Structure 1
Amino acid sequence: MPLYYNEKYDFYAVTRFADCERGLPDWRTFSSSRGDILEIIQSGYEIPSGTLIFEDPPIHDVHRRLLSRVFTPRRIGMLEPQVRNFCTAVLDPLAGADRFDLIEAVGAEMPMRVIGMLLGIPEADQPAIRDMADEALRTEDGQKMRFKGAESLTNEAFADYIDWRRDHPSNDLMTDLLNAEFEDENGRTRTLTRDEVLTYVNVVSNAGNETTGRLIGWIGAVLARHPEQRHELVDDPSLIRNAIEEILRYEPTGHSIARYVTRDVQFHGETVPAGSALLFIVGSANRDHRRHTDPDRFDLHRDIGQQLTFGLGGHYCLGAALARLEGRIAMEEILKRFPTWEVDWDNARLGQTSTVRGWETLPLIVG
Structure 2
Amino acid sequence: MSTDQLTPTGHVYYDPYDLDINRDPYPTFRRLRDEAPLYYNERHDFYAVSRYDDVAKGLADRNTFKSGRGNILELIKSGIEMPPGLVIYEDAPTHAIHRKLVSKMFTPKTVASLEPKIRAFTAACLDPLVGSARFDIISEFAAQMPMRVIGMLLGIPEEDQEHIRDRSDANLRVKPGKAMKFKENSLVRGGVFAEYLDWRVDNPSDDIMSELLHLEFVDETGTQRRLTRDEILAYVQVVAGAGNETTTRLIGWTAKVLAEHPDQRRELVADPSLIPNAVEELLRYEPPAPHIGRYVAADAEFHGQTVPAGSAILFVAGGANRDERVYDDPDRFDIHRRIPSLLTFGLGAHFCLGAALTRLEGRIALEEMLIRFPAWEVDLDAAEMSPTSTVRGWDTLPLVVT
What secondary structure is seen at the aligned counterpart in 1 of 2:295? Answer: strand
Match of 1:138 in 2: 173
Q: Give the counterpart of 1:201 among 210, 221, 236.
A: 236
Contact 1:136 1:152 in 2 (8 A): no
Match of 2:10 in 1: none
1:268 alignment partner AA = H
Q: TM-score with structure 2 length normalisation?
A: 0.90
Distance 1:293 1:69 in 2: 37
Is 2:343 the counterpart of 1:305? no
Distance 1:4 1:207 in 2: 28
Matches within 5 A, 1:24-103: 24-103=59-138
Match of 1:356 in 2: 391
Is 2:152 the counterpart of 1:122? no
Number of aligned residue pairs: 367
Distance 1:131 1:19 in 2: 35
Distance 1:189 1:172 in 2: 23
Cα deviation, residue 155, structure 1 = 5.3
Of the structure 1 ranges 190-199 and 151-160, higher mean CA displacement relative to structure 2 is found in 151-160
Match of 1:110 in 2: 145
What secondary structure is seen at the aligned counterpart in 2 of 1:278? Answer: strand
Over residues 133-192 of structure 1, what are the superposed CA-to-partner deviations in whole Å (9 max), with x where a residue is unaligned?
A: 111101122211122343345453200101111110111111111111111111111111
Distance 2:355 2:190 in 1: 22
Match of 1:253 in 2: 288
Q: Where does structure 2 lack aligned partners over 5 or more consecutive residues?
A: 1-35
Cα deviation, residue 97, structure 1 = 0.9
What secondary structure is seen at the aligned counterpart in 2 of 1:247? Answer: helix
Is 2:259 the counterpart of 1:244? no
Contact 1:265 1:272 in 2 (8 A): yes
Q: Give the counterpart of 1:230 among 246, 255, 265.
A: 265
Contact 1:234 1:336 in 2 (8 A): yes
Distance 1:321 1:143 in 2: 32
Contact 2:50 2:320 in 1 (8 A): yes
Cα deviation, residue 264, structure 1 = 1.0
Distance 1:97 1:162 in 2: 40
Distance 1:265 1:248 in 2: 29
Cα deviation, residue 282, structure 1 = 0.3
Q: Where does structure 1 lack aligned partners over 5 or more consecutive residues?
A: none
1:84 alignment partner AA = R
Cα deviation, residue 342, structure 1 = 0.5
2:319 alignment partner AA = S
Of the structure 1 ranges 244-253 and 185-194, higher mean CA displacement relative to structure 2 is found in 185-194
1:113 alignment partner AA = R
Distance 1:74 1:149 in 2: 38
CA RMSD of superposed structures (Å): 1.0
Match of 1:292 in 2: 327
Over residues 322-362 of structure 1, what are the superposed CA-to-partner deviations in whole Å (9 max), with x where a residue is unaligned?
A: 10111100000000011000001110111111110001111
Distance 2:198 2:106 in 1: 21
Over residues 279-314 of structure 1, what are the superposed CA-to-partner deviations in whole Å (9 max), with x where a residue is unaligned?
A: 000000000000111000000000001010000000
Distance 1:230 1:205 in 2: 31
Distance 1:24 1:204 in 2: 21
Percent identity for Structure 1 against Structure 2: 61
Cα deviation, residue 75, structure 1 = 2.0
1:148 alignment partner AA = K
What secondary structure is seen at the aligned counterpart in 1 of 2:39? Answer: strand
